[in-house]
């Protein structure tokens, strides 16, 4: 079962930062926070993951609160191609447990 | 680098018929997954393989669904007989090992009439 709570939908103006929140209040010490996105008619695509420190890559930044009970995915300059469903997933980092439990995610619409 | 290949992209069948989906993972990826995604929902794991062995098939409806990964490379997912509620996108994913990023194919969309 998904252990995360996300808003069902959000809008963002093109060129602005998109901030997608995720609540994971029951996260365990060995669980990472992963973000995937799914563009229409495509399979999910990995974005970023983190344990407790903030992370940044070429796609996005991940901000995790100090108590690790929530996080925010930041797309710094949203484009129309960022319109997708974004999934926040908590996942233990151990062998044999590489499954991903997807919830219903947040549908982000980037508006011109 | 070639991604995860799936076929067919679309399939329409009548209930009680059978269907098979094929997946070829990224070269060198030992772990392969089949997910089912019903419209409006997130993907749900059906089965996970490590090489040619099953790691997790607890969510696979074994009375009608079967999957195999002979030789530990490509895989086939079969549904027989199909029900209306099997209408969904069937996603294949692979990863290098049991830990790490999953790479998904574009999926096979099944419509059962």
DSSP A18-77: EEEEEE-TT--TTEEEEEEEE-TTS--EEEEEESSS-EE-SS-EEEE-TTSSEEEEEETT
* pLDDT band at residue A99 under the 50/70/90 scheme: confident
The pLDDT value recorded for residue A53 is 87
The pLDDT value recorded for residue A1 is 54
Closest residue by Cα to residue B12 from B88, B71, B76: B88
Q: A-side interface with B, Cβ within 8 Å?
A: 2, 41-46, 87, 93-105
Contact A98 B100 (CB under 8 A): yes
Q: B-side interface with A, Cβ within 8 Å?
A: 4, 31, 33, 40-45, 48, 55-56, 91, 93, 95, 97-107
Digit-coded pLDDT (tens) for A24-44: 999 988 889 999 999 999 999
Digit-coded pLDDT (tens) for B60-110: 999 999 999 988 899 999 999 999 999 999 999 999 876 678 999 999 999
Determine the distance in angstroms separating the CA of A86 from the nearest CA of chain B, rounded to an integer: 10
Cβ-Cβ contacts under 8 Å for B58 (sequence gap 6 or more): none
CA–CA separation, B113 vs B37, rounded Å? 17
Which residues on chain A are in Cβ contact (under 8 Å) with B106?
41-43
Digit-coded pLDDT (tens) for A61-91: 999 999 999 999 999 999 999 999 999 998 8
* pLDDT band at residue A101 under the 50/70/90 scheme: confident
Determine the distance in angstroms separating the CA of A95 from the nearest CA of chain B, rounded to an integer: 5
Contact A43 B48 (CB under 8 A): no
3-state secondary structure B32-76: EEEEEECCCCCCEEEEEEECCEEEECCCCCCCCEEEECHHHCCEE
- CA nearest to A34 within chain B: B101
When scoring B32, B42, B43, B45 by the number of chain A Cβ atoms within 10 A, the one with the most, hence best to mutate, is B42
Contact B103 A96 (CB under 8 A): no
Determine the distance in angstroms separating the CA of B102 from the nearest CA of chain A, rounded to an integer: 7
Closest residue by Cα to residue B57 from B45, B44, B39: B45
Contact B44 A44 (CB under 8 A): no
């Amino acid at each position: 079962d998904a252990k995360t709570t996300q808003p069902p939908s959000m809008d963002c103006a093109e060129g602005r930062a998109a901030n997608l929140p995720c609540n994971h209040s029951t996260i365990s010490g060995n669980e990472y926070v992963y973000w995937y996105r799914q563009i229409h008619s495509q399979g999910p695509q990995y974005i970023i993951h983190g344990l407790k420190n903030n992370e940044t890559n070429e796609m996005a930044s991940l901000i995790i609160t100090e108590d690790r009970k929530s996080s925010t995915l930041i797309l710094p300059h949203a484009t129309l191609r960022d319109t997708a469903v974004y999934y926040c997933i908590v996942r233990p980092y151990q062998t044999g447990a590489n499954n991903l439990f997807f919830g219903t995610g947040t549908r982000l619409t980037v508006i011109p | 680098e070639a991604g995860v290949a799936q076929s067919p992209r679309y399939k329409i069948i009548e209930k009680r018929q059978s269907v098979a989906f094929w997946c070829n993972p990224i070269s060198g990826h030992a772990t392969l997954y089949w997910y089912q995604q019903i419209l409006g929902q997130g993907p749900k794991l059906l089965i996970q393989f490590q090489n040619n062995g099953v790691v997790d098939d607890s969510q696979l409806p074994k009375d009608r669904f079967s999957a195999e990964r002979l030789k530990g490379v490509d895989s086939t997912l079969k549904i027989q007989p199909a029900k209306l509620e099997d209408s969904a996108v069937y996603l294949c994913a692979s990863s290098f090992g049991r830990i790490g990023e999953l790479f998904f194919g574009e999926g096979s969309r099944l419509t059962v009439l």
